Amino acid sequence: MKARLMHRDRDFNLRQPLPWNEAALTQDLELNTLFNAMAQGDEFIFSVVRNAVFTGMGLDQETILYRQHILRDCLKNPSVTREIYDLILEALESKKKATWFIFSMKYPDSILHTSLDVMAIFLTMLKKLRIYLTDNIENLESEGFRGLSAMLSRELDDKYLARVEAHLKQLKFRDGTLISATLGMGGKGIGFLLRKSMEKRRPWYRLLFPGKKQAFTYFVNPRDVSGSSALQELNRRGINAVANSLAQSVDHIENFILNLKTEMAFYIGCLNLNEKLSEIGEHVCFPEPAEFGKHKHHFKGLYDVCLSLTMKKSVTGNDLEATDKNLVIITGANQGGKSTFLRSIGLAQLMMQCGMYVPADSFNADLCSCVITHYKREEDKKMNSGKLDEELTRMSEIVDNLKQDSLVLFNESFAATNEREGSEIARQIISALTENRLKIFFVTHRFEFAYGMYVKKSKEHLFLRAERQPDSSRTFRLSIGEPLQTSFGEDLYKKIFSHADTA
């Protein structure tokens, strides 16, 4: 039995390793803001969405669309979605209550009794879920939900549940336990095996004359304490296997339920975020993922969802048409929205790849194998290595982990030295990287570097500029444009040496 709400063919694994640069991504793209908005204070949901977002890189188009369909169902039927999740939570809560007083799993009979209770709780919940899904199936269009409903109806039909019911009753052993054994070391019993009692199936007249069968009975005196516990131990040995098997079955069912909870938690997280964004007047769209390596970035109204969540208001979005580009260099004024733009690129990519909607009017981009960030960092005083040294150490680490079809985001990298050197380093690195199948977005102030790339006039390069209105106000919009050298120095020259040219 599988939930199959995250993958068509397997469970979602909460323990799968996160990418090596998970910490850098979290910091550079401010991912915790996103995760918190999705979790709404629920630690479990936080861990699920965090895992899902990080491990989305590497999913194929098909899986992304599979999740998108389920998510569309959820966005359309938020109350149904939440009801399913609540059913799960409720069952797990009841289980906790039924087992909290079990201090030890030392005795098969206590294991058996607890397992019987929990089994009843779980099966009741699964039955409810089965019925609930059947009742709402018309509103659920996705393959994922339909599959789950069909699976539950198939596996847990009334006939099966009745059979389980009968076992649960039988396992209370109202008529005593029937245990077979053979003679082991020293004549002690071994190989205890619980047997199905056939006594009841005999015709009534056999019950009247049981006599022919040779049997010996021993009654333990109720005051014989050691005798009673010896008898109890024999009984426990007899039910040991069945207690184990039932307890393991309970664990298996619990694993199924926990997995269902995990997979549902992702959609609950998406639902939470969507509601949050609606509140502040933002909107989302389902992206169209393109094949790996297609080098496509085509979007309208892409905004930085983290900025929006932080500012609690709608923020400016950007449009971009970058087909067959492998390098986008962004230059321009400070506070002009360059970093925000870069972050929105990274966030949208991660959200799209894990099956989420993206914060845009429309979004179409090729899948990447991993998102990598290289951001300028504050100088760490504790570290002995200089800043450039630190930057280049990180760069080296990136090179170690670089895969084909990576998306690499540089934000004012290699600025920790003078213009010439920094530019030269950047030029060398970027030239080397672009010769491979990668896509790079590079925010820089380094005119020499940016302009140096610009004059190559490569068709695969695109240059964006943060605009400043003539009145110095910022639009936070980027537009296509060649890198400009700041006119600040020239201005100054002109201002101070006002007569220089004319002299």
Contacting residues toward another protein, per CB under 8 A: 1-2, 105-108, 111, 155, 163-164, 167, 170-171, 175-189, 193-198, 213-222, 226-228, 230-231, 233-238, 240-249, 251-253, 255-256
Closest to another protein by CB, 174 vs 499, is 174
Q: Is 103 helix (H, G, I), strand (E, B) or coil?
A: coil
Give 10's contacts (C-beta < 8 A, 6+ positions apart).
Answer: 2, 4
For another protein, the closer CB: 27 or 249 = 249
| Residue 200 vs 457, nearer CB to another protein | 200
Shortest approach of another protein to residue 111 CB, angstroms? 5
Closest CA to 395 of 324, 447, 457, 385: 385
Pairing relationship of beta strands 406-411 and 370-375 according to DSSP bridges: parallel
Q: Give the length of the chain.
A: 503
Q: Kind and range of the H or E element at 298?
A: strand 296-302
Q: Which residues, 6 or more positions from 354, have their beta carbon under 8 angstroms from its beta carbon?
A: 52, 53, 55, 56, 59, 64, 67
Query: What minimum distance in Å lies between the beta carbon of 88 and another protein?
Result: 16
Q: Are 131 and 149 in contact (CB under 8 A)?
A: no
Task: For the CB of residue 116, give the shortest distance to another protein in the complex, in Å.
Answer: 11
Shortest separation between residue 16's beta carbon and another protein, angstroms: 15
Residue number with CB closer to another protein (106 or 457): 106
* CB of 65 or CB of 98, closer to another protein: 98
Nearer Cβ to another protein (225/484): 225
> What is the DSSP secondary-structure string of 398-438?
HHHH--TTEEEEEESTT-SS-HHHHHHHHHHHHHHHHTSS-
Rounded CA-CA distance 376/389 in Å is: 12
Residue of 41, 166, 148 lying closest to 87 (CA atoms): 148
Q: Tell how far CA 229 is from the center of its chain.
A: 51
For residues 238 and 289, which CB has a smaller minimum distance to another protein in the complex?
238
Angle between helices 108-136 and 158-170 (to 10 degrees): 160
Cβ 53 to another protein shortest distance, Å: 25
Which of residues 210 and 481 has its CB atom nearest to another protein in the complex? 210
Q: Which two tokens stand for residue 255?
A: 């694993």
Query: Phi then psi for 464, rounded to 5 degrees?
Result: -115, 155
